[in-house]
Amino acid sequence: MNARLTPRLDPVTEPLYRLAVAASVISPNNTLRLAAARLAEEGLGAIPVNQDHQYVGLITERDLARALASGATPDDIIEPWVRTQDPTLSPAETGAAALRTMVEHELSAVAVVGPDRQFVGLVTPRLLVTPLEFENRPRQVGGMATPFGVYLTTGAASGGVPMWALIASGAYLFGLFFVGAHVALFAFLALPTKAQIPWIYDLMSFVFFLLALRLSPLAKIHAAEHMTVHAIEQNEAITPEVVARMPRVHPRCGTNLAIGASLFLGVLNSPWPAEQELRLLIAVLVTVTLFRPLGSFVQMWGTTAPAKAKHIALGVAAGRDLLQKYENQYIPPASVPRKLLHSGILQIMVGATLAQLVALAAYEVLRVPATQRVISAFLLPFGP
């Protein structure tokens, strides 16, 4: 069972004794040079100043600028430039009070001071930004769309729908291919005899398959999967509002791989030019140059469609499931067989094979003539 996540509270409602960060203190008799060094070390934009173990004020980078502009040297003491009039807050006050104080007094930091003027820490605006719910994230995520939701994986861990949904997705994709190929076959046979060229049938099959996929719910789920992967890899919050802003085209989508393979084989098997070596060179150049832009075009207009709220919710659920496992469980490095298993390719192939066997059995039962049968092929997975 997964460990339950500790809820991330809104910093604005948190007490300052939890939010404030400690900082090195200096005294009014220290130099501007030391203050500059401490500001660089702490990176908070302000340094607390104590005298006799009691807080007296802050020194900021703006104060250093004022001092230098007035003619002070780096070895002059900071006492004339300490901000002694800035308001302070008690540890029991909340982040909302700190935010209000910084806005009203145009401060980059506010000091939290306890009883007897004891310095507790500093609060800056960046500490009031709600942290990501899942801070430990994989650098890259793969995924697939299925009729039942989104599947995501790091290669070692997975989230979203179970493995059987990937098998169903393979069968579903084969079904779309099968229907598209038959529609293309009927349209192809209606063409004049001179126009019945094999590559025209192949092109028609591809177009009808993309049309069937585009009109199916799977295209919208595919888009939601891409958008969720973008949000995870960009370290954005995994919420419907954020995921909805992400692009639906992904550079590592399997669509790009399919387009690249089609380009390479299409040019390599073409009759021109006659020289095999030259044809191979052209095939490589065309594939390397065009597979990404053409793949992105096919993703945008074929294999994905604008996702609705219900499809984005499927992606968000899968993303949160994956990140929860990734953050709260020990996951050993993935071996090659484990990566292959989690990639989903095998499950897609199993589903497509089972659907193909059903189609072949239906051909035999219905005694479909050989001239009206289509040649099926395993479909590449759709997902980055």
Residue pLDDT, tens place only, 32-44: 999 999 999 999 9
Structure confidence at residue 54 (pLDDT)? 96
pLDDT in tens, 125-178: 998 987 767 667 898 999 999 999 999 999 989 999 999 999 999 999 999 999
* Fold for the domain defined by 11-128: CBS-domain (3.10.580)
Say whether pLDDT at 203 is over 60: yes
Whole-prediction pTM value?
A: 0.73
pLDDT in tens, 265-312: 989 988 888 898 999 999 999 999 999 999 999 999 999 999 999 999
Say whether pLDDT at 6 is over 60: no
CATH 3.10.580.10 spans which residues of the chain? 11-128
Give dist(CA 217, CA 155) in Å, integer: 26
Q: How many CB atoms lie within 10 A of CB 294?
A: 18
Structure confidence at residue 9 (pLDDT)? 60
Give dist(CA 68, CA 283) in Å, integer: 66
- Over residues 218-230, mean pLDDT: 98
Sheet-wide strand order for 149-153: 142-146, 149-153, 158-160
pLDDT in tens, 336-378: 999 999 999 999 999 999 999 999 999 999 999 988 888 644 4
Say whether pLDDT at 8 is over 80: no
121 versus 371: the higher-pLDDT residue is: 121
Structure confidence at residue 333 (pLDDT)? 77
